[in-house]
Structure 1
Amino acid sequence: MTFDELKAGITKAAETAPKLGKSIKLQLDEGPIYIDMTGDSAQVTGDDKEADTVITTSVDVLDQLRSGKLNPMMAMMSGKVKVKGDMGLAMKLQGLLS
């Protein structure tokens, strides 16, 4: 999966995402993906803004998590995924990555 494919998939999934009143930023090697779920519909941009939750990882690791090849807990314990902020919100990101 490429960065553009990931962003396109998240943008499509965001069309049906619930209004959570929060924002998530994926800080990837290739650049940020900012998901704003504070409005009536979720907006996905490449903005590098402050977010309620920041997840730092790579597109490759996200692809492994999505496919089930990598366990989320092991990814965090090994430092492949770092979460700053609302951990509960980070867990809801799974729906956007599926």
Structure 2
Amino acid sequence: MALEDIAAGIRSALEGKTFTGSLKFDCGDAGVLVMADNTATTKDRETDCTIRISEENLVSLLKGRLNPMLAMATGKLKLSGNPAVAMALVKLIG
């Protein structure tokens, strides 16, 4: 699944919802997915929080098949910035 497809799904999930803050999923060479301003895009920008994760693990995380705490403990996910933003936005789209 391409990051643009994931972004489109997140945009649909965010319709009618509001959030503050910004979050970037950095998938290395596959690109980035940024949630900010009540939408999702694959255009890179500075964010309140960055999660470094593989594209495959991102899909698993968003589908609820990868536990975020377990992913952090096993090194599949690395977080920098404000973790409260990450928790709020992932819950919003989950």
Distance 1:68 1:46 in 2: 21
Question: Is the aligned partner of 1:33 residue 2:33?
Answer: yes
TM-score normalised to structure 1 length: 0.77
- Aligned-pair CA distance for 1:97: 4.1
- Aligned-pair CA distance for 1:94: 2.2
TM-score normalised to structure 2 length: 0.80
Question: Is the aligned partner of 1:44 residue 2:40?
Answer: yes
> What is the CA RMSD across the aligned residues, in angstroms?
1.9
Residue among 47, 50, 73 paired with 1:77: 73
Amino acid in structure 2 at the alignment position of 1:18: T
Amino acid in structure 1 at the alignment position of 2:24: K
Q: Check the 8 A contact 1:9/1:97 in 2, yes or no.
A: no
How many residues are treated as equivalent by the alignment? Answer: 93
Distance 1:69 1:55 in 2: 17
1:14-25 equivalence runs, <5 A = 14-20=14-20, 22-25=21-24
Amino acid in structure 1 at the alignment position of 2:22: S
Distance 1:66 1:4 in 2: 14
**Gapped runs of 5+ residues in structure 2?**
none
